[in-house]
Amino acid sequence: MQARRASRELALILFSQFDKKIVEYSDQDFEEIILKSIRVLSNNSSDELKTAVSSLLDIKGYIEDYEANDVSNLERPIGVKDLPVQLPTTADMTEKIDSVLDVVEKAIFALEVAELAVLESQDEVKDYVIKIAKSFKSHCDEVDEQIQKYSKGWDINRLVKMDKDILRIAIIELLYINEAPMKVVVDEALELAKKYSTDDSSAFINGILAKVVSENGIV
């Protein structure tokens, strides 16, 4: 995970924790929220990994029991290694494979959180997160006006908060920070949408950002 990508993800976590007007937060508040969020995520990822291991052990136990209880093995002498047996129905195995995929997703999430926790301690990452937050604090009204303007009649207060925060971070980077290429900012906003929001979010966010880029002459 690259430093800037980690910064955007941490910024999204930071924005999700705001419980008062952005202008009321200090730089110290931003840092404390990031640290607390990472600790919560780390604890959650640890729990997810434990659940993943437990699920894998359950699946392994199911397969071992299925093999041991097959007629061909029940008739074998005690102490003799069981013979492999035919797998159960495709429906049964599909269910078990889905369970494994769920386990893998939990493990990947845990690893990503662990990487975020490591990167969070790096000045480059933390400084960029704070820069995004401070820029939004200074330009929050203008940023939300951009979102409202291009939302095709949607009331900004009724937008999915995750989508709104992803847009805020991207627009801040595009209009006020100007340190990353436009394509990188937009592409990573879409990746955040795919990872954290609804199925329709990517298309919605892409449409808004395309208009922001076009209307503001960003290249």
The answer for residues whose C-beta is within 8 angstroms of residue 38's C-beta and 6 or more apart is: 10, 13, 113, 116, 117, 120
Contacts of range 22-28, beta carbons closer than 8 Å, 24 or more positions apart = 22/133, 22/136, 22/137, 22/140, 23/137, 23/140, 25/133, 25/137, 27/130, 27/134
- How many whole angstroms separate alpha carbon 83 and alpha carbon 63? 13
The span from the CA of 144 to the CA of 169, in Å, is 11
Residue 102's CB is within 10 A of a number of other CB atoms, namely 13
Length of the chain in terms of residues written: 219
Q: What angle do CA 164, 180, 42 make, to 5 degrees?
A: 60
Q: Answer for the pair 1, 116: CB distance below 8 angstroms, yes or no.
A: yes
Inter-residue contact 89 to 14 (CB < 8 Å): no
CB 168 within 8 A of CB 144: yes
Q: Which CATH architecture has domain 3-215?
A: Orthogonal Bundle (1.10)
pTM: 0.72
- If you ran DSSP here, which 8-state letter would residue 78 be given? T
pLDDT at position 143 is: 95
Domain boundaries, the chain: 3-215
* Per-residue pLDDT tens listing for the chain (219 residues): 577 888 888 888 889 888 778 888 988 888 888 888 777 777 777 777 787 788 888 888 888 888 889 888 888 888 888 888 887 777 777 877 787 777 777 777 666 766 666 666 677 888 888 999 999 999 999 999 999 998 876 777 778 899 999 999 999 999 999 999 999 999 999 999 998 888 889 999 999 999 999 998 887
In the numeric block, which tokens belong to residue 26?
């200090």
